[in-house]
Chain A
């Protein structure tokens, strides 16, 4: 958890805005440090967290979280964290033969039948976020984290199915249960284009229409730099007040145990 980012977003584990859908996107850069931030943030806040990890194994996230001071293994044992290991689950379907029908996990149904959409995955999310309601330890509002949605594009899921999936997750997690949602999307294209028909761009635009806050991680326009790892554009798409589309741009540097954010041109290497 990066306290600097918390102050930028005006939030803290003790009091954060409920029902928020945060979209993290990256372009020519890596935004996974933000996923680690939100994972440790919501675990500290005592939320019931459902994590869909399609990019890395559990031990990877666990190792990074350990550095940020949160133990994923403990959280999983306590039932606070529900972790879907997308890598493992999809490998079972893709490489080895199918287990018996009763043992199949329906969460990766989209790999068995590309036409079926992400309904199975949604059912998995729904059952894990609603699980807290009936008995067991009492956790805070449920949170869904996805790292990252664009992997599903390469697994053959269509943009329409993914937007439906995120819509359902938002309706359940954000609106009904007043929780939170963080999704990561990667874009391959170098430049943002208005009419680009590329799937990842369409996915990003579709999700941007749904979300309430976007964090866009980009490389520096001037090229690689040792002391500044990139820039983040924070954009509030708030609905109620007059400040629609308020934007702020920060540069950042990722350290071993944290990240520092600063205004453009105020890096300690420059000043």
Chain B
């Protein structure tokens, strides 16, 4: 499912990539950028707060680079040096729309925000949520992709941003090996949630390879494979009974079943069974109260 989200098979919506200090999600973001640029009619706008243009363009597909429009919010995001192309205070629907209008009309416009954490530092979460929602509904943008460092914000803030997303990917390092784990959650148009957990790696050409998946649908798939093989096929013993065998089985009295015959046999011992006779000796000092008196204990 990670690949489906990254390749944008389900068009439109808001895709959120969440990372922590342990594993950066920027490579995944760049990989998304690369695949988006490879689609012919797509124009990609990047609001870059955390990376410079050179750094972002490094490694991206050179042939379609002119369809990538970088809006530099990196060099002066707060207007300190007074030569700012884009400040964080311009993160409003109107200002973003004017940015997008600078380019010729295209069928599909993708807006990449690197990163939402930077903006969240200077705007209240509610404002950002409203802006994102308005961008989604506005129609000027088909897809919004945002990077969010979840460990920089309170859980509630992360949650409210995540609620807006039509798909969100959480990346974390894998405990063994060089890969990383991506937890993908996608909300379909009907509102159904689909979750998946995959191990992936990104190579130098920024293409993502999914190494393995340990997801729930995968596991049930394995089960159906196994059931096709009949485990009762080559047994050394018989599993079924014929009628006569069943009759014989039912006739058999099991040793622990307490039948009437058994009970009477125990209560009325027949002839031939032993009994104990005791005749007290003259020396015997038999005490009725304490029969074990003579024992040397």
Contacts and interface: CB of A to CB of B under 8 A. Distances in A.
Interface of A: 119, 122-123, 126, 160, 163-164, 167-168, 171-172, 175-176, 194-195, 197, 202, 205-206, 208-210, 237, 239-245
B80 A119 contact: yes
Q: Which 10 A-B pairs have the closest CB atoms?
A: A175-B52, A208-B21, A171-B75, A205-B21, A205-B151, A160-B121, A209-B149, A242-B203, A119-B80, A240-B59
A175 B54 contact: yes
11 contacts: A123-B80, A168-B76, A171-B74, A175-B52, A175-B54, A205-B151, A209-B152, A239-B55, A241-B204, A244-B180, A245-B22
Given A171-B52, A242-B201, 8 more contacts: A123-B80, A164-B77, A175-B52, A176-B75, A197-B154, A237-B24, A240-B204, A245-B173
A175 B152 contact: no
Interface string B162-180: 0000000000010000101
A239 B78 CA distance: 25
B151 A243 contact: no
Contacts, number: 72
B155 A195 contact: yes
Contacts of B81: 126
B156 to A, nearest CB: 12
Contacts of A208: 21
A195 B76 CA distance: 30
A5 to B, nearest CB: 23
A164 B79 CA distance: 11
A168 B80 contact: yes
B27 A202 contact: no
Contacts of B178: 242-243
Contacts of B204: 240-242
B157 interface: no
Contact of B26 (A172, A175, A239): A239
Nearest to A163: B121
Contact of B74 (A123, A175, A202, A241): A175
A175 B55 contact: yes
Contacts of B202: 242, 244
A243 B177 CA distance: 11
A28 B285 CA distance: 86
Contacts of B152: 202, 205-206, 209
B294 interface: no
A171 B48 CA distance: 12
Contacts of B70: none
Contacts of A245: 22-24, 173
A126 B83 CA distance: 14
A168 B118 CA distance: 13
Nearest to A206: B152
Nearest to B78: A164
Contacts of A122: 80
Contact of A194 (B20, B54, B78, B201): B20
Given A167-B77, A209-B117, A195 B23 contact: no
B58 interface: yes
A171 to B, nearest CB: 5
Contacts of B75: 171-172, 175-176
B196 interface: no
B42 interface: no
A238 B203 CA distance: 13
Contacts of B121: 160, 163-164
Contacts of B74: 171, 175
A171 B81 CA distance: 12
A210 B78 CA distance: 17
Contacts of B50: 167, 209-210
A170 to B, nearest CB: 9
Contacts of A240: 58-59, 204
Contacts of B151: 194-195, 205
A244 B55 contact: no
Interface string B110-125: 0000000110011000
A239 B54 CA distance: 12
A171 B49 CA distance: 10
Contacts of A237: 24
B206 to A, nearest CB: 10
Given A168-B80, A175-B52, A209 B201 contact: no
